A and B are shown apart, each in its own frame.
Chain A
Amino acid sequence: MEIVFEKTKGLTDTPTHYCPGCTHGIIHRLVAEVLEEMDVLEDAVGVASVGCSVLSYEYFNTDMVQAAHGRAPAVATGIKRVLPNNRIVYTYQGDGDLASIGMAEIVHAAARGEKITVIFVNNAIYGMTGGQMAPTSLLGQKTATSPFGRDINVQGAPIRISELLSTLDGAAYIERVSSHDVPNIIKAKKAIRKAFETQKQGLGFSLVEILSTCPTNWGLDPNESLDWVKEAMVPVYPLGVYKDITKEEK
């Protein structure tokens, strides 16, 4: 019989624990497919962060190192700097992990131009700990720790990581994409591919920010969640390429 569809070899057979309607699973698949298509699954070391994706070390079919909350870019730096150049090192981090507790590590990894790829999943909330406010939560967004809605005068405004990091000279490729519908998912995969290619060519730091859902903690159903990404998140977090040094040098 002809095989018409096969699960990527980039993922193990372990069933994921993600909630229905959460797009972590889709993003895992995109990363895994890209690594498989580039034939680097066996040359790669992934760094799992602390958040809902902490168990990603059981899902990705590459060598994996689990890092402390926010420290994945530092751990990835240690790995990348001591291994032979052809190794592909990536982190997979949530927005609490990367944009709050791990802000120093991500900024300095980008500034040093670490040749790593960061998969940054922005779901505007702390998923794992039960729906607290993240630095990326939207103004007005109600969470367990902003029960009256995020107020600019109390909790400040959301942090736009792609814009912020793209000001650093060490950043080679930075793009923000979304996971709310098929055309955007296809774009997200292209961005992830480009980011890993950037690393492979030794050009510098690469990051793909992917807008993602958290139906459980947003209190929405899966479809409403996808709509919320499109209607509420995208206007605050405009999609697009924020840095591409291959385009700049002319």
Chain B
Amino acid sequence: MAKVLMKGNEVIAEAAVQANCKYYFGYPITPQSELVAYMAKRLPEVGGLFLQAESEVAAINMVYGAAAAGVRVMTSSSSPGISLKQEGISYMVGSELPAVVVNVVRGGPGLGTIQPAQSDYFQAVKGGGHGDYQIPVLAPATLQEIVDLMQDAFDIADKYRTPVYLLGDGMLGQMMEPVEFKERPAIELPEKDWAATGTRGDGGPRIVNSLRLDPADLEEHNNHLQAKYKKILENEVRYENYMTDDADYILVAYGTVSRIAKNALQKARSKGIKVGMIRPISLWPFPEKAFHETRDKVKGYLTVEMSAGQMVEDVRLCVEGHAPVHFYGRTGGMVPSQEEILKKIVEMAGGEL
């Protein structure tokens, strides 16, 4: 297929359709409304269903029902709406239901702003709703990477019976870039022999449920979830190492910020500072190995985020004091500039601009 020029939010939607997702339930919110509108037009073309819910609460529960009935399904929103979905996501985890939840993050807290942010990192990677759980989180940096990761997101959801987040930001949602939708062979996935489909002769009744009143029973279920997370940690880590081989300093950034950081990195290199970058693509599971391999070789890390410092906590947990970990962030919808990042790199290297 040839390259087409598309807007980020539309790419997210089309990538889901290409990943064979035919069902979408959602509620409008900026900056991801184009995604909702695209689905409304597109899904009927593939014999699927788009339904505008009365709220994000209803939308995630419709997703819960559709997933319980065994279909590939997704929802999307932006930060305030994702907060409303947390109860439903926790129930999906408890009932082990697969779905993809897209968060096109905007600045908070509260109604905040419609400008891009990365301030929902904690919510995404540290659980978010109630209970002991993790959600796999994929964070694309380009529109092409959205296409490539969307299929993975659905496959991970089905393989491990878990909701999966695709985390973007307002910039990614609104930008336009050429993308190519490549045909990908489907991977082998477990049969959904647990789904409540009301099918005659399937050996039912089947029950989809997250209630376990007996604490011993619930502990066993939690142990089962934790064992699943261990497998995800082993198999689903994704990251990019960029010019880290000879690096004295390493930038850490994900999503759109990593693109700005890359430009700053080139400028720093032209000044003779050997900088590399670790770009986590899966935010959970976090790419621990990338840090274990570099932490005794480098003089320091600089984490750059559109937040007051969230991912930097995970970086510190991985570096474990082997090297200094610096932070630079802008918040509230402000985007860090190349120049600001460069200044921080030079400072870290003990020099002056």
Residues of A within 8 A of B (CB): 12, 42-45, 47-48, 54-55, 57-58, 60-68, 71, 74-83, 87-89, 104-105, 107-108
Contacts and interface: CB of A to CB of B under 8 A. Distances in A.
Contact of A77 (B62, B198, B207): B62
A63 B202 CA distance: 10
Nearest to A111: B54
Contacts of A61: 205
B65 A78 contact: yes
Contact of A82 (B58, B69, B205, B211): B69
B173 interface: no
Contacts of B210: 66
Contacts of A66: 95, 207-211
Nearest to B62: A78
Interface residues of B, number: 39
A82 B198 contact: no
Interface string B61-93: 111111111010100000000000001100100
B55 interface: yes
Contact of A57 (B67, B73, B209): B209
Nearest to A69: B87
Contacts of B68: 65, 75, 78-79
Interface in B36-61: 49, 51, 53-55, 57-59, 61
B206 to A, nearest CB: 5
Contacts of A44: 198
Contacts of B197: 45, 63, 83, 87
B185 interface: no
Contact of B205 (A64, A76, A105): A64
Given A63-B207, A66-B208, A105-B54, A74 B65 contact: yes
Given A64-B207, A79-B68, 20 more contacts: A42-B201, A45-B196, A45-B198, A47-B65, A57-B209, A62-B204, A63-B206, A65-B64, A65-B208, A67-B65, A68-B64, A68-B88, A75-B65, A77-B62, A78-B69, A81-B49, A81-B66, A82-B49, A83-B198, A105-B54
Contacts of A71: 57-58, 61, 64, 88
B92 to A, nearest CB: 10
A81 B64 CA distance: 12
Nearest to A67: B61
Contacts of B205: 12, 60-64
> Which of B53, B68, B211 has the largest number of chain A CB atoms within 10 A?
B68
B83 to A, nearest CB: 15
B170 to A, nearest CB: 27
A226 to B, nearest CB: 29
Contact of B196 (A54, A64, A74, A105): A64
A82 B23 contact: yes
Interface of B: 23, 25, 49, 51, 53-55, 57-59, 61-69, 71, 73, 87-88, 91, 95, 196-201, 204-211
Given A42-B204, A71-B57, A65 B198 contact: no
Nearest to B51: A81
A82 B207 contact: no
A176 B1 CA distance: 58
Identify which of B23, B87, B205, B210 gathers the most chain A CB atoms within 10 Å of its CB: B205
B61 A68 contact: yes
B62 A63 contact: no
A105 B58 contact: yes
Contacts of A67: 61, 64-65, 91
Contacts of B209: 48, 57, 64-66
Contact of B69 (A54, A57, A83): A83
B91 to A, nearest CB: 5
Contacts of A77: 51, 58, 62, 65
Contacts of B62: 74-75, 77-78, 81
B346 to A, nearest CB: 51
